[in-house]
């Protein structure tokens, strides 16, 4: 390449490399200062152990960080992102090479003299064109298509950075293109980007080419260091934090984090939950820095879709801005209550309605390409609201009932097994301490007391009886599983329920627990300690159908079209998608159609957890009504669920929406049992 490098020229009487060193030292010093300031808040966050399972973490980093597996869930945006990401990877070497050339420390020179040199030059040139094209494409998409999910994102910053990346590509192209025209060495390489620039510069005077060469170099170096320092100031901080955030991602699903990591007994804690930004764990603060503002979380959030005052993306953006405010680049406002007159974080910057609007469905977390967590943060803020009695008043009675009677209805524990008296011809054993049984059927509160859920529990008991399973229920010994209580933020009461249920479970010998609803299944499996062998009824019965213990015989009406709704706590939180579908396919002549939003993109019914007792006025329509519409759009007239809460919500939405003639809801267990006898 060209023998005279721009740093070998003199500028203002000084050799160029003096300027290169000045830019390098100033740029890096400022960068490390900003990173240091940003790290202060992370370091002041609460503990969060994220180093276990290093092998799995490295493999996830490769899959989701480097290969970017989640990006193509939004196909074209994902393709653009992957092109730019890989451009950064390939061109990172080029940037270091250009900087070190300027410092008169060409560390890559020996490597570039090998066969790798021409190969890399061609590759980086190709990627410059790819990145340039991707930036142009991204700018046009934002400007012309204007995806709704970008609403509220920092659009100007996005355009600015896309422009800056394009500028970096162009300056390198013209730096190399001018060199190509001045180079007399006759070396032949395939350099598509540089050749394009050379074509544009063709016929220029040698002086102009030399000027273009030098100016391009200096502009490139200046833009590079400017870019580096601009990143941690806004949403493009993710370029630095995304890979660590993916590496430290949560490895398990379903469970809620403890009130404080490393503290066994919550009575030791002065306060519960999150009130101020430093109460979040360090990883959750890293999350705030990592949001790309892509809006995929809000695009999939059912609360956002029906007009509730919750957009997960905006929640993160507001809290990131708050982080920057609490830990500014100059000065530091560590700890303590907010300054007088400043808005409180919980209840102010993030309103109580935002916090209670979440159904904990997990759609946001499933979609986020950089694994930002929401549910634990929201529950932590709820813990603070509950502790300071800022919860909706409707919760008080529910929590009092659970505490006094072990169920949210306030009904006597002695009546917990009354539903089995109605079961003609199906004996159901109510177990006592010291009993032994193969399958312990954990019915939970709704299955025990709510008429609709009771009928699902009865169907399960009937199915178990027909299959000849030795099973029993806990009856009055059973307490509410606590799933809702924990997700409401009442950690103390959840711990009490857990203790009492574990004491009972330890007194009975059983092989497996089968649950009616996915919430009880989730909490017993993921929130309770130890390794309870717990399965949801769909998993249990699919095995019975598979091994021939049960045979669905009765044929269904041919004209009915069924669709299966994946309950959030069965699907997204526990990955059970196939067992219910397999059961449905085992039923003779059942026509099954999938909704567009199915499996891990299922749309929450709005039931379960706090939504049972919290009505919010700012709703355009109920989630269950929206879901029924989706079922209709798929061409179904029967929506099948495997969760009593989904069932109750759909049944109600069909009635209130006057859709009885077009749609009906069935629970999968009821459907299966109805086909077992011809």
Helices 75-102 and 155-182, packing angle to 10 deg = 50
Minimum CB separation from ligand SF4 for residue 71, in Å?
A: 11
Q: Which is nearer to ligand SF4, 5 or 70 (CB)?
A: 70
Kindly tell me which of 249 and 260 has the beta carbon lying closer to ligand SF4: 249
Strand partners, 534: 513
Nearer to ligand SF4, 282 or 441 (CB): 282
Of residues 77, 99, 161, 364, which one binds ligand SF4 by CB under 6 A? 364
The answer to the question of residue 71 lying near ligand SF4 (CB under 6 A) is no
* Cα four-point dihedral sign 445, 446, 451, 453: negative
294 is a site residue for ligand SF4 (CB under 6 A)? yes
Judged by CB under 6 A, does residue 212 bind ligand SF4?
no
Q: Does 48 bind ligand SF4 (CB under 6 A)?
A: no
Give the C-alpha separation, 629 to 561, whole Å: 14
Residue 359 or 516: which CB sits closer to ligand SF4?
359
CA atoms within 13 A on the CB side of 303: 29
Q: How far is CA 629 from CA 162, 382, 537, 626, in A?
A: 39, 31, 27, 5
Among 2, 191, 361, 402, binds ligand SF4 (CB under 6 A): 361
Nearer to ligand SF4, 360 or 574 (CB): 360
Tell me if 457 contacts ligand SF4 by CB under 6 A: no
Does position 362 bind ligand SF4 by CB under 6 A? yes
CB of 354 to ligand SF4, least distance (A): 9
Q: With CA atoms as reference, report the closest residue to 305 among 607, 572, 626, 611.
A: 626
Tell me how far, at minimum, the Cβ of 87 lies from ligand SF4, in Å: 20
Q: Which of residues 126-145 bind ligand SF4 (CB under 6 A)?
A: none
Q: How far is CA 222 from the centre of its chain?
A: 37
370 is an interface residue for ligand SF4 by CB under 6 A: yes
Q: How far apart are CA 479 and CA 504, in angstroms?
A: 9
Check: CB of residue 666 under 8 Å from CB of residue 640.
Answer: yes
Q: How far apart are CA 186 and CA 188, in angstroms?
A: 6
Return the bridge partners of 442, or none.
Answer: 515
Which residues inside 227-256 make contact with ligand SF4, applying CB under 6 A? none
# of chain residues touching ligand SF4 (CB under 6 A)? 27
Binding status of residue 374 toward ligand SF4 by CB under 6 A: yes
Residue 522 interacting with ligand SF4 (CB under 6 A):
no
Q: Which stretch binds ligand SF4 (CB under 6 A): 42-50, 74-82, 292-300, 646-654?
A: 292-300
Residue 598: Cβ within 10 Å count: 19
Helix (H, G, I), strand (E, B) or coil at 535: strand
Asked if 181 contacts 158 with a C-beta cutoff of 8 angstroms, the reply is no
| Selected range binding ligand SF4 among 1-9, 112-120, 295-303, 477-485, rule: CB under 6 A | 295-303
- Asked if residues 442 and 512 have their Cβ atoms less than 8 Å apart, the reply is no
Beta-bridge partners for 666: 640
597 contributes a contact to ligand SF4 by CB under 6 A: no
> Taking CA 143 as the corner, what is the angle to CA 140 and CA 148, rounded to the nearest 5 degrees?
115
Query: Which residue bears the tokens 């032994």?
Result: 436
What is the DSSP code (8-state) at residue 508?
A: S
CB nearer to ligand SF4: give 316 or 574.
316
Q: Which of 172, 293, 450, 625 binds ligand SF4 (CB under 6 A)?
A: 293
Among 70, 283, 313, 416, binds ligand SF4 (CB under 6 A): 313
- Please give the Cα distance from 142 to 368 (Å, whole number): 19
Contact call for residue 78 and ligand SF4 (CB under 6 A): no
Tokens 């007994």 locate to 265
> According to the binding rule CB under 6 A, does residue 379 interact with ligand SF4?
no
Structure tokens at 497: 């329920």
Of 87, 254, 295, 607, the one binding ligand SF4 by CB under 6 A: 295
Residue 312 within binding range of ligand SF4, rule CB under 6 A:
yes
- Is residue 209 within a helix (H) or strand (E), and if so which, with residue range? helix 206-230
Say what the alpha-carbon torsion angle 531, 440, 443, 660 is, to the nearest 10 degrees: 100
**Shortest reach from residue 350's CB to ligand SF4, in Å:** 12
Which residue lies nearer to ligand SF4 by CB, 295 or 309? 295
What is the distance between the alpha carbons of residues 467 and 465, in angstroms, rounded to a whole number? 5
* 297 interacts with ligand SF4 by CB under 6 A: yes
375 forms part of the interface with ligand SF4 (CB under 6 A):
yes
Site for ligand SF4 in 400-439 (CB under 6 A): none
Give the CA dihedral 652, 607, 601, 346, nearest 10 degrees.
140
Tell which positions 318-337 bind ligand SF4, by CB under 6 A.
none
Nearer of residues 73 and 333 to ligand SF4, judged by Cβ: 73
Q: How far apart are CA 291 and CA 369, in angstroms?
A: 9
- If the CB atoms of residues 128 and 365 are measured against ligand SF4, the closer one turns out to be 365
Q: Where on the chain is the footprint of ligand SF4 (CB under 6 A)?
A: 291-297, 301-303, 310, 312-313, 316, 358-364, 367-368, 370, 372, 374-375
């Amino acid at each position: 390449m060209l023998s005279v490098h721009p740093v070998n020229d003199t500028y203002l009487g000084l050799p160029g490399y003096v300027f290169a060193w000045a830019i390098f030292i100033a740029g890096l010093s400022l960068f490390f200062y900003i990173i240091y300031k940003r790290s202060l808040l992370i370091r002041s966050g609460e503990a969060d152990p994220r180093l276990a399972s290093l092998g799995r973490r490295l493999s996830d980093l490769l899959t989701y960080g480097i290969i970017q597996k989640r990006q193509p869930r939004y196909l074209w945006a994902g393709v653009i992102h992957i092109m730019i990401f890989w451009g950064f990877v390939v061109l990172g070497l080029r940037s270091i090479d250009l900087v070190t050339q300027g410092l008169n420390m060409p560390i890559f020179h020996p490597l570039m003299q090998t066969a790798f040199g021409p190969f890399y030059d061609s590759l980086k040139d190709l990627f410059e064109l790819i990145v340039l094209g991707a930036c142009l494409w991204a700018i046009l998409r934002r400007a012309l298509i204007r995806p709704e999910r970008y609403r509220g994102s920092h659009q100007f910053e996005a355009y600015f950075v896309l422009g800056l990346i394009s500028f970096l590509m162009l300056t390198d192209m013209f730096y190399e293109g001018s060199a190509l025209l001045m180079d007399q060495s006759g070396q032949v390489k395939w350099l598509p980007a540089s050749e394009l620039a050379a074509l544009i510069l063709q016929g220029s005077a040698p002086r102009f080419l030399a000027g273009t060469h030098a100016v391009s170099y200096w502009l490139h170096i200046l833009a590079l260091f400017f870019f580096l320092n601009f990143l941690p100031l806004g949403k493009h901080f993710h370029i630095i934090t995304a890979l660590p955030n993916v590496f430290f991602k949560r490895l398990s699903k379903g469970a809620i984090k403890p009130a404080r990591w490393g503290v066994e007994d919550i009575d030791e804690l002065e306060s519960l939950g999150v009130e101020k930004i430093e109460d979040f764990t360090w990883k959750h603060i890293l999350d705030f820095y990592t949001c790309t503002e892509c809006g995929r979380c809000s695009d999939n959030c059912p609360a956002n879709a029906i007009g509730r005052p919750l957009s997960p993306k905006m929640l993160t953006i507001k809290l990131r801005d708050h982080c920057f405010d609490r830990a500014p680049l100059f000065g530091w406002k560590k700890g303590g209550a907010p300054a007088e007159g400043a808005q409180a974080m919980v209840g102010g910057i993030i309103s109580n309605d935002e916090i209670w609007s979440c159904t904990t469905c997990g759609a946001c977390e499933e979609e986020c390409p950089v694994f930002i967590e929401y549910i634990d943060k929201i529950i932590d803020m709820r813990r603070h609201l509950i502790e300071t009695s800022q919860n909706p008043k409707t919760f008080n009675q529910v929590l009092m009932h659970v505490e006094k009677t072990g169920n949210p209805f306030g009904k006597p524990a002695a009546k917990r097994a009354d539903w089995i008296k109605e079961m003609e011809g199906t004996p159901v054993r109510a177990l006592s301490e010291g009993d032994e049984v193969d399958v312990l059927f954990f019915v939970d509160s709704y299955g025990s007391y709510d008429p609709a859920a009771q009928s699902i529990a009865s169907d399960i008991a009937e199915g178990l009886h027909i299959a000849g399973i030795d099973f029993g229920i806990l009856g009055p010994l059973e307490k509410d599983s606590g799933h809702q209580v924990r997700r409401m933020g009442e950690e103390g009461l959840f711990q009490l329920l857990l203790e009492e249920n574990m004491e009972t479970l330890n007194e009975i010998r059983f092989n497996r627990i089968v649950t009616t609803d996915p919430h009880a299944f989730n909490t017993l499996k993921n929130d309770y300690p130890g390794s309870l062998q717990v399965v949801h009824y769909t998993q249990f019965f699919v095995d019975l159908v598979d091994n021939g213990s049960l045979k669905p015989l009765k044929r269904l009406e041919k004209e009915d079209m069924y669709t299966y709704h994946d309950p959030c706590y069965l699907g997204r939180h526990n990955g059970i998608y196939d067992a219910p579908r397999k059961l449905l396919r085992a039923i003779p002549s059942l026509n099954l159609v999938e909704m567009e939003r199915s499996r891990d993109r299922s749309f929450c019914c709005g039931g379960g957890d706090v939504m049972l007792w919290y009505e919010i006025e700012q709703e355009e329509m109920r989630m269950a009504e929206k879901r029924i519409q989706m079922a209709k759009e798929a061409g179904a007239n029967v929506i099948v669920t495997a969760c009593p809460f989904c069932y109750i919500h759909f049944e109600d939405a069909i009635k209130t929406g006057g859709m009885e003639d077009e749609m009906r809801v069935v629970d999968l267990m009821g459907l299966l049992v109805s086909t077992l006898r011809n």
